[in-house]
Chains A and B, each alone.
Chain A
Amino acid sequence: MLHVALNSSLTFCFLMSSLQMAHRLLIRRIWTLSTKDIRCLPTSTATIASSSFSTSLQSAQSRVFFLSPSRSLPRSLPHTFSRTVSFNVQDHEDFTERVINNELPVLIDFHAQWCGPCKILGPRLEKAVAKQKGRVAMAKVDIDDHTDLAIEYGVSAVPTVIAMRGGDVVDHFVGIKDDDELDSFVSKVIGQ
């Protein structure tokens, strides 16, 4: 298992097994599916089910679920959060509204005020997101304020960035990345 030294202090560094991650992805998948149904999408449940379960192995590490590119979500959001570049998640409801139900792909930056590397990654991530001129959103989650949410998403070490499209986790990374790596990560998330 990768052991990323993230903090010069004695911060614990635990990395979950990819199996656990995949398990959580599956749970999240089922949960978000039901949420979508409650929101009464014009498209049939069957369509959602079939397109969502098309998978392809992106990396050896985790199975990735993603929606086919041609499929668009005709749901109109009552607010224009999709245009905001980055925002701080306020609570579970806010997370559901602005992250899971966001029509844009969202990068979730799990960070903590005591985490030095997070302070480096944060601005870099914002820069990479800003370059995309509104094609991707960024949600910031302080793991001390939203511990349960962070645990739910299997965050152990910080910074952890999870990429979501249509409520599904499509990619993630732990630790710092440089500007080029971030650009390619973000492009990949949007690209498909």
Chain B
Amino acid sequence: MAALCRGRHRWKRIHSLFVLTRNLSGKYDYDLVVIGGGSGGLACSKEAAQLGQKVAVLDYVEPSVKGTKWGLGGTCVNVGCIPKKLMHQAALLGTAVKDAKKFGWQIPGPVCHDWATMADAVQNHVRSLNWGHRVQLQDKKVKYLNVKGSLVDEHTVKGLTKAGKEMVVTAKNIVIATGGRPKYPTNIPGAMEHGITSDDIFWLKKSPGKTLVVGASYVALECAGFLTGIGLDTTVMVRSIALRGFDQQMAGLVTDYMETYGTKIAWKCFPKRVDKLSSGALQVTWIDTQTGSEYKDTYDTVLWAVGRAPETKALGLDKLGVQVNKETGKIVLGADESTSMPNIYAFGDIGEGRPELTPTAIKAGKLLAHRLVGQSTEIMNYDNVPTTVFTPLEYGCVGLSEEEAEKRHGKDGIEVYHAFYKPLEFTVSERNSSQCYIKVVCERDGGQKILGLHLTGPNAGEVTQGFALGFQCGATYSHLLQTVGIHPTCAEEVVKVHITKRSGLDATVTGC
């Protein structure tokens, strides 16, 4: 009898050991689980699946404070790049209609804008993209789980459905690409109850009306820009400087244009409180730091654009020892997107020191997939990333700002070529072009390698993309001089630039 019992205990021990080893030797549900179905997460998961991996992607949208939610695709598709650019286009068309009269178009009366028509069209396009992404995942054989993912251990992810049901998946590798969400100010009474963020603005069914945009990031300026463009009374409240991190001379040109365009800018002001009046309007009390006085005004909408916070709280990172930057909350990453835990990776907006851009997230995701499969060792190159701010006067740039170039090479080590130009299209329509400007920051010696290219003007995004290729190839000022311009365009002014800042000469150039 004793022998039998002993035998049974031994079997139990062996059995549990067997189970333990079986799990360790890696029969996981998936080769890769990606948490986050945005630009980065989708690119990574689809690429990995194409390379033969068994992949699942978890995407979940926690509704905004105001209750706004959206489908698959992440920030860019739903509450970022896509709706932003479409609304920017709506605003530009409003200006174009005004210009049209000078070009001979017989437009009977004042042209008004209907928010509902625009919002409907934009929202419908976004929904078609949600569907498109869903179909792509299906086609590429990526398992899609609409659950809120969190880490249990380095191979296990817990998912919570909207209904609160729990499920668990195991994976050989885990990738975190959960991105970020807009921040609400924490010390302003009424901010959360009465204000909205960029998560909400694109999904409003009714016009936001008279709007106060608090913040001076590109999100704030782009939103304020298109709101002004569609005819709304818009004010931007800037605490210190605009477009922090960008070339400040260019930032000044952008905001100057916005002011002539009709956007009111409350410089060096910050809001103190937001109250809702019986009429339903919002009363904002703010301080002007230059005078020290307090002011009040009423608005229909207050849009907070005071920064974005990474979506890391609900992931359970601290429990696992995944290192996070204490200040920013972003995940600390190696150059290969690895975290402090061996088989957990992260990239995109969630990564510390990474640009918060869709194209870099997509590229980084694809390269990561290739590395995880063991097919390559190529890491993402985050240098020379071009970008554009889609304010009413667009600002495109690639490379270093003038300040950064000066810091690295010294004021005497750089040569800045610049020009104020007038787009041909602005002439007949009698539009103000005083902020249309090009700046090419080069090394002073040798071949004069281009360190940074900056330009403001119509379609700056389209123009900058082409020059980014040259930049990537190590273009120098002499290359620029050797390039023949296309006439008549705004872009040709870039290859014609010849006046240096150092010379002190008037940089205004004329066409032909």
Contact = CB atoms under 8 A, between A and B. Distances in A.
Interface of A: 7, 9-12, 14, 16, 112-115, 143-144, 147, 151, 156, 158
B135 A114 contact: no
Contacts of B489: none
A156 B128 contact: no
B125 A144 contact: no
3 smallest CB-CB distances across A and B, nearest first, come from A12-B132, A114-B124, A11-B128
B135 A112 contact: no
Interface centre among A14, A112, A147 (most CB of B within 10 A): A147
B474 to A, nearest CB: 34
B131 A14 contact: no
B445 interface: no
B136 A114 contact: no
A14 B139 contact: yes
B476 interface: no
B135 A144 contact: no
Contact of A143 (B123, B131, B138, B139): B131
Given A14-B136, A14-B139, A151-B138, A9 B125 contact: yes
Interface residues of B, number: 15
A55 B71 CA distance: 40
B134 interface: yes
Nearest to A11: B128
Contacts of A158: 131
A143 B131 CA distance: 8
Interface string B329-354: 00000000000000000000000000
Contacts of A12: 128-129, 131-132, 135-136
A111 B130 CA distance: 14
Main secondary structure of the interface of A (DSSP, over half): loop
A11 B135 CA distance: 11
Given A114-B127, A144-B131, A151-B138, 15 more contacts: A9-B125, A10-B125, A10-B129, A12-B128, A12-B135, A12-B136, A16-B139, A112-B127, A113-B127, A114-B123, A114-B124, A144-B127, A151-B134, A156-B135, A158-B131
A116 to B, nearest CB: 9
A44 B139 CA distance: 39
Contact of B132 (A11, A16, A113): A11
Contacts of A115: 128
B122 to A, nearest CB: 10
Interface in B106-143: 123-125, 127-132, 134-136, 138-139
12 contacts: A9-B128, A10-B125, A10-B128, A12-B128, A12-B131, A12-B136, A16-B139, A112-B127, A112-B128, A115-B128, A144-B71, A144-B130
A112 B131 contact: yes
A100 B378 CA distance: 51
A160 B128 CA distance: 15
A40 B112 CA distance: 63
Contacts of B139: 14, 16, 156
A14 B139 CA distance: 9
A9 B120 CA distance: 14
Contacts of B128: 7, 9-12, 112, 114-115
Interface in B159-183: none
Contacts of A112: 127-128, 131
Interface of B: 71, 123-125, 127-132, 134-136, 138-139
A16 B140 CA distance: 11
B129 to A, nearest CB: 8
A114 B125 CA distance: 6
Interface centre among B123, B128, B139 (most CB of A within 10 A): B128
Contacts of B138: 151, 156
A35 to B, nearest CB: 24
Contacts of B71: 144
Contacts of B129: 10, 12
A4 to B, nearest CB: 14
Contacts of A144: 71, 127, 130-131
Nearest to B134: A147
A68 B129 CA distance: 42
A154 to B, nearest CB: 9
Contacts of B125: 9-10, 114
A14 B128 CA distance: 13
A139 B135 CA distance: 22
Nearest to A9: B125
Contacts of A147: 131, 134
A169 B124 CA distance: 30
Contacts of A16: 139
Contact of A14 (B123, B124, B135): B135
Nearest to A13: B132
A115 B124 CA distance: 8
B178 to A, nearest CB: 21
A11 B131 CA distance: 9
Contacts of A14: 135-136, 139
A16 B128 CA distance: 18
B259 to A, nearest CB: 34
A14 B354 CA distance: 33
Nearest to A12: B132
A113 B135 contact: no
A10 B124 CA distance: 11
Nearest to B124: A114
B124 A113 contact: yes
Contacts of A11: 128, 131-132
B213 to A, nearest CB: 28
B135 to A, nearest CB: 5
Contacts of A10: 125, 128-129
A10 B86 CA distance: 12
A2 B134 CA distance: 20
A144 B126 CA distance: 12
A113 B125 CA distance: 10
Contacts of A7: 128
Nearest to B82: A10
B59 to A, nearest CB: 12
